[in-house]
Structure 1
Amino acid sequence: MASSSSELGFVFLLLFLSLLVASKPQQDSNFLFEGFNNSENHLNLEGATVVKPSGSLKLTNRSYNIVGHAFYYKPFQMLVNTTNTTKILKVSSFSTSFVFSIVPSSSGPEGFGLAFVIAPSTQFPWSSPGHLLGLVNSSNDGSPSNHLFVVEFDTVNGYRSQADSKGNHVGVNINGMNSTVNEPAAFFIEGTEAQKEEFSMEESDAVQAWIDYDGEKKIVNVTIAPISLPTKPSKPLISHPIDLHEVLKESMFVGFSASTGESKASSHYILGWSFSLNGPSAELNSSRLPEPPTKENDPSSTSFPWIKLAVAVLSALILLLIFSLCSLTLYRRYNNFENLEDWELDCPHRFRYRDLHVATKGFKESELIGIGGFGVVYKGVLASTGTEVAVKRIVRGSIQGMREFAAEIESLGRLRHKNLVNLQGWCKRKNDLLLVYDYISNGSLDSLLVNPSVVLSWDQRFNIIKGIANGLLYLHEEWEQVVIHRDIKTGNILIDEDLNARVGDFGLARLYDHGQVSHTTNVVGTIGYIAPELTRTGKASTSSDVYAYGVLLLEVVSERRPIDESGQFVLLDWVVENQSLGQIHDVVDPKLNLNYDEEEVELVLKLGLLCAQHRADLRPTMRQVIRYLNFDDPIPVTGAESSRMSSGFLEVVSASTISASYNLSSINSMSSRLVEAGRQPCTC
């Protein structure tokens, strides 16, 4: 009897667990949302919200110039290996179905629509609203580097034209907003050969869409119909051949994006959503979905003329009152009003100061994670998304605060590379100048090197060295302009959770066109990393970045500072001396306990001396540096004399400028415990 009870209990337990698993969204290859209550942990929302208690997902409201994103929180494997012996990748088939509702504005033109998106990231930091649907901007629209697959449900015509008009179409787009194929919103009536029934997506209470891609046949099918239609139409609205092999990456996110414009706005809702990889998506049960939002009646449609007149008079009085109040408010606050400057117009992703103040707990000292010559850095958590960010607060009273702020926005804001820090946006309010960028969990390379409880292995150090080189190569040669960083040092190299290097802090960066010469005339940087030619000409170049990189290489291997607190020890001299004595391995950090590759260590030390030569024309380019690090080319032999001349220069600079560096910014007096000796910014 006891055995029977035990077996019965085990059966009930299995049933309970199966029901529990079935009630949650599937995370491996499919999921199902019939309403979005309690789904926040499975969605990445930016500008979008879950409406309580209905459970509908609102992408945008009827405010102007806004964007809403909602993506499933985990990426899907969109490219798979077809065999176990080759690296040929095949595009996975996928299927999705969702129900959406568009509520146009009752007081003006509606727009701009929504889109189903497959993208490599859930972040679109420089995207624009309106016709671009919050996915791209005018400069990168259509770029193959976007890797976007988009099915748009557009309610405004006029993309790339002078005037807008009412739209009602479905389009399939690749990497931007130019549709490969589009059709007016319609569905095929059952029982007819080719009779197509058009309908308005805005006027319908809700619309169901089905998107199916066959990875074998390379065909995408798009079908839509009003939610009132009992079954899915048997014939798709769009059936188009398209090869996504060059569009999709191996790991991609799926979700939605919607936007409004400067004078057109609608609310965009998702009521239910299912998705499946390599199989049909689950059917949505309309009885379980949230009720579609109410469509508001247009007041201008009333049949009573006297009501129209009363509304018109009342509206005029209200407008007059609002105008008077605004005029009074502007008059009282005239002195505090800030006009946007020219450089601000090119940097559209502006955060609200209030959001950053809340994210950093009022810029509380406990959230302070770093300090430098032009400002302090706080850790923050954005309340809207829960995303961790780093907020750099620049001291406007510093010598070059405003100019460096603009430079960092212009340069870092448009740079994109895996070994650079990603700028998310900015904020300017009175005397507060703020940059918001990715929070890098492990902090700076400098903090890891001096931390006695952390020992980076040689493999980790060698990987970091290569990552910095790749980032500098991108800056010097691979971006649209040449970017001179001008402050390469371990304190400006951040290390992410995978121990990869990210070059950051572009406050001193300068840009110029390829084929031209830099025209910078002032000496900036950090003592110990400044190239000797800068004191003679004041002109920074890619070679001066290479010099600083060379010093950094010696520092990573030895875990010694370029110049000690007394100014008597110069790292470059020490390494040259050990090299001349045949004791080059004596400079290796003793904490490695001889656990390193001798050939790689010797290569890095020789490369550091090669990069830190006195003569700029003898230093390698970053492309040559990478070839040396990959053992593609033998490294040239360097003479000790040129390195000693460079070291002598460091002693002169140290004696003449280190005092000036302490006065560079009043920020140093705020928290002297965070400023380490030998790391002070220098400007002459």
Structure 2
Amino acid sequence: MMSPILTLFYFFLFLKIATCGVQNNNFTFNGFGGAKLDLDGIASITPEGLLLLTNATRLMTGHAFHPAPLRFKPPAGKTLSFSTTFVFAIVSKYSDLSSHGMAFLVSPTVNLSTALPSQYLGLFNSENCSDAANHVLAVELDTIENPEFADINDNHVGIDVNCLKSADSRPAGYYSGSATDQFERLNLHSGEPMQVWVDFAGGDMQLNVTMSPAQMPKPSRPLLSATVDLSSVVYDQMYVGFSSATGSSNHPSHYVLGWSFMVNGEAESLDYRKLPQLPRSKSKRKPKHIVVWLLPVAIFTFALIVAATVILVVRRRIKYAEVLEDWEQEYGPHRFSYKELYRATDGFKDKELLGIGGFGRVYRGVLPASNIEVAVKRVSHESGQGMKEFVAEIVSIGKLRHRNVAQLLGYCRRKGELLLVYDYMPNGSLDKYLYDQTRPSLDWARRFMIIKGVASGLLYLHEDWEHVVVHRDIKASNVLLDGELNGKLGDFGLARLCQHGSDPRTTRIVGTIGYLAPEFARKGKATTMSDVFAFGVFLLEVACGRRPSVIEAGEHVFLVDWVLENWKAGTVVATRDQRLGLEEERSVVEMEMVLKLGLLCSHPMPEARPSMRQVMQFLDGDKTLPELSPAYMSFSYPSLTQNQRYDDDCIVSIPTSVATMSNSSLKAR
């Protein structure tokens, strides 16, 4: 029989083994100097003791975890309560521009190497997002509105379980706690430190998220309060930490200044006096004046300097002269100076030329002050009565925020030209990958992803933004590819916007031959349905690898007619780009659906075309494309347009394939 002493020895040995590898379930970091955290990606601890999750490096992730797992379930198996608080700051060089945010997370592992940057916040990827096997709880602090995750805006706090489509979310802010209990908004990327409290009550599965400016007492009313059943999400032991990711541009730095955590209790308050300071930009000192002792030399030198300065100023004013009227003062950061763009593009030299279109030349540039890469388009214009309204719309369109819409950053006017400034897309335009034989061809999976991205961006312009935006020039050369070959709809120099339920104010025929809807040529009024027509031609262009209109054997051949003839003959799939193998059955089905959808969208009658929301439902597989009858699709594009005449009050871009046509033939077609 075992002695009592030996029994006690084995009992304590069992307890030691059972708790081995699991540290105390509480900790506090008032700054991270000397802290032993598990870091990966570009996360680091600065000499000042700041936890820096991400910096200005593009398309990177950063993670920081407490090095040991914490026990979230007792032997009985019930989920324990926990409490945490942390002070963070998102610091950007530009208060009105931001990239993706950050998240506090509870995870079964510290290995998130498969997670993607940008909108996935370094947590998931396109394959495992929404997978219950993730076992991840996160509280996101997001500064980009991503429609695919149903984000409420570009400045929100959300509770995420296994995916980035939040179980609950609210605009960032706090309740004042006064008699009126007023809601005060906070700007997540303001650069100012803010504090977040996350409290989970395991008994009733209640998760509360509260936030406020740093050093302010915790508000009594939480920002978010939701019932979240974590019994099947958390394991016995879980890791806690932070995750963040950078985008392709305008990426800020994500900091954590202090962090406290406790299981089955309230997290210890942070000591603000011990928290490290955020980096601040240092002002440059002005050079000291040079004291001149010799009067004659000083006068002579001064005269030379004045003369040289006058000559230099006059020459620079002539060189950088631009149009700036009083009404443009209100546009602030959206108005670039010509000097800034001139220096950014190295004087608009040919070595920085990205391409030439029907409406101007596009140059690559690097803004001197921010070191951000941009694309600058030079468009000729005449300063007329409508210029004020046109620029006002350009600035409004600059507020668009969508992952498949190239951001229009601003504009500049100089003499007889308008300069539009966009985000730079390193992979250029889609047409280069369709027609340039020196570039590798895109496979069907990538083309289909680009098609869905452009459709999502166009749906945002037509229905999901605060205004209706009619693009008026949808084509492959205006679809830009970022570093990951995601498609972004760009070139808003011809776009028009209006309120929902009203007509766009357009009176001039603008666009590109081959993409113009028949009713647009007749009435001269662009609508969302004329955009859908151009998108239909774009679908056929991407699937077939052919331009919308070409000259063959002296005849003008339209892509829509060619595909339509093959559809009537039952050989529509044969019109695909012959560089596409389509070995998988799914690819053949997708290709046939896209070709038929292209014909439906490019139907001559506007009322027969689907809306962009219906288009997205077809592409996502949520709805089945209706069968097209021969009678319904009996039309010929040339017969619909041969009697159209483009008069002097029009702007029409001519594709390269028809650039040799005469003026008379253009008017005839």
Q: TM-score, normalised by structure 2?
A: 0.59
Contact 2:174 2:211 in 1 (8 A): no
Q: Which amino acid aligns with 2:137?
A: K
Q: CA RMSD, aligned part only?
A: 5.4
Pick from 588, 606, 617: which aligns with 2:576?
588
Contact 1:550 1:611 in 2 (8 A): yes
Deviations 1:634-655 (A, max 9, x none): 32314368553323234555xx
Deviations 1:163-217 (A, max 9, x none): xxxxxxxxxxx846x752389xxxxxxxxxxxxxxxxxxxxxxxx9894633536
Change (3 A) 1:224 1:481: closer
Partner of 1:509: 495
Deviations 1:396-416 (A, max 9, x none): 359999579626624421222
Contact 1:347 1:410 in 2 (8 A): no
Contact 1:484 1:511 in 2 (8 A): yes
Distance 2:522 2:542 in 1: 28
Contact 1:449 1:559 in 2 (8 A): yes
Partner of 2:354: 369
Once the two structures are superposed, the pairs formed by residues 319-398 of structure 1 within 5 Å of their partners are 340-342=325-327, 345-346=330-331, 348-397=333-382
Deviations 1:295-339 (A, max 9, x none): 9xxxxxxxxxxxxxxxxxxxxxxxxxxxxxxxxx99xx99x7965
Partner of 2:539: 553
Compute the displacement of 1:590 (Å). Answer: 0.7
Deviations 1:648-672 (A, max 9, x none): 234555xx659999x979xx9xxxx
Pick from 622, 646, 663: which aligns with 2:637?
646
Asked whether 1:602 is paired with 2:574, we answer no
Q: TM-score, normalised by structure 1?
A: 0.57
Distance 2:330 2:534 in 1: 34
Pick from 137, 152, 158: which aligns with 1:90?
137
Compute the displacement of 1:342 (Å). Answer: 3.7
Contact 1:363 1:378 in 2 (8 A): yes
Asked whether 1:677 is paired with 2:657, we answer yes
Distance 1:221 1:550 in 2: 47
Distance 1:287 1:585 in 2: 64
Partner of 2:443: 457
Deviations 1:420-479 (A, max 9, x none): 111223333555532222111221111111122321111111122222222222222222
Partner of 2:143: 120
Could you tell which deviates more after superposition, 472-481 or 80-89?
80-89
Distance 1:292 1:482 in 2: 40
Contact 2:374 2:423 in 1 (8 A): yes
Compute the displacement of 1:537 (Å). Answer: 1.7
Change (3 A) 1:592 1:659: farther
Deviations 1:150-173 (A, max 9, x none): 9xxxxxxxxxxxxxxxxxxxxxxx
Change (3 A) 1:34 1:402: same
Compute the displacement of 1:563 (Å). Answer: 1.0
Q: Which amino acid aligns with 1:521?
A: T
Compute the displacement of 1:591 (Å). Answer: 0.5
Contact 2:543 2:595 in 1 (8 A): yes
Deviations 1:519-544 (A, max 9, x none): 53322211011111223222222221
Distance 1:582 1:393 in 2: 45
Change (3 A) 1:480 1:526: same
Pick from 175, 180, 195: which aligns with 2:175?
180
Once the two structures are superposed, the pairs formed by residues 222-241 of structure 1 within 5 Å of their partners are 237-238=217-218, 240-241=220-221
Contact 1:119 1:253 in 2 (8 A): no
Change (3 A) 1:337 1:676: closer
SS in 2 for 1:590: coil
Partner of 1:203: none
Compute the displacement of 1:239 (Å). Answer: 5.5
Change (3 A) 1:433 1:540: closer
Q: Which amino acid aligns with 2:591?
A: V
Q: Which amino acid aligns with 2:578?
A: P
Distance 1:120 1:581 in 2: 51
Partner of 2:104: 78
Contact 1:405 1:433 in 2 (8 A): no
SS in 1 for 2:402: coil
Distance 1:245 1:396 in 2: 54
Compute the displacement of 1:367 (Å). Answer: 0.8
SS in 1 for 2:521: helix
Partner of 1:571: 559
Could you tell which deviates more after superposition, 367-376 or 338-347?
338-347
Compute the displacement of 1:496 (Å). Answer: 2.1
Partner of 1:33: 46
Partner of 2:62: none
Partner of 1:197: none
Could you tell which deviates more after superposition, 555-564 or 348-357?
348-357
Partner of 1:497: 483
Deviations 1:50-104 (A, max 9, x none): xxxxxxx9x99xxxxx966999x996443556898367863459xxxxxxxxxxx
Pick from 216, 233, 246: which aligns with 2:200?
216
Once the two structures are superposed, the pairs formed by residues 524-563 of structure 1 within 5 Å of their partners are 524-563=510-549
Partner of 2:423: 438
Compute the displacement of 1:370 (Å). Answer: 2.1
Distance 2:590 2:103 in 1: 36
SS in 2 for 1:437: strand
Partner of 1:145: 153
Contact 2:44 2:53 in 1 (8 A): no
Change (3 A) 1:571 1:289: closer
Change (3 A) 1:588 1:395: same
Distance 2:96 2:410 in 1: 17
Partner of 2:188: none
SS in 2 for 1:421: coil
Partner of 1:242: 222
Partner of 1:624: 614
Distance 2:569 2:142 in 1: 56
SS in 2 for 1:146: coil
Partner of 2:459: 473
Deviations 1:479-527 (A, max 9, x none): 2222221111111111222332211112222222222334533222110
Q: Which amino acid aligns with 2:483?
A: E
Contact 1:407 1:510 in 2 (8 A): no
Distance 2:512 2:542 in 1: 17
Contact 1:375 1:394 in 2 (8 A): yes
Partner of 2:73: none
Distance 1:391 1:294 in 2: 31
Contact 1:44 1:70 in 2 (8 A): no
Distance 2:429 2:225 in 1: 38
Contact 1:91 1:245 in 2 (8 A): no
Q: Which amino acid aligns with 1:511?
A: L
Distance 2:537 2:281 in 1: 63
Compute the displacement of 1:41 (Å). Answer: 9.2
Distance 2:279 2:642 in 1: 75
Distance 1:410 1:289 in 2: 36
Percent identity among equivalent residues? 35
Could you tell which deviates more after superposition, 83-92 or 632-641?
83-92
Change (3 A) 1:357 1:617: same
Contact 1:394 1:401 in 2 (8 A): no
Compute the displacement of 1:35 (Å). Answer: 4.6
Change (3 A) 1:339 1:237: same
Change (3 A) 1:606 1:346: same
Contact 1:468 1:501 in 2 (8 A): yes
Distance 1:293 1:521 in 2: 49
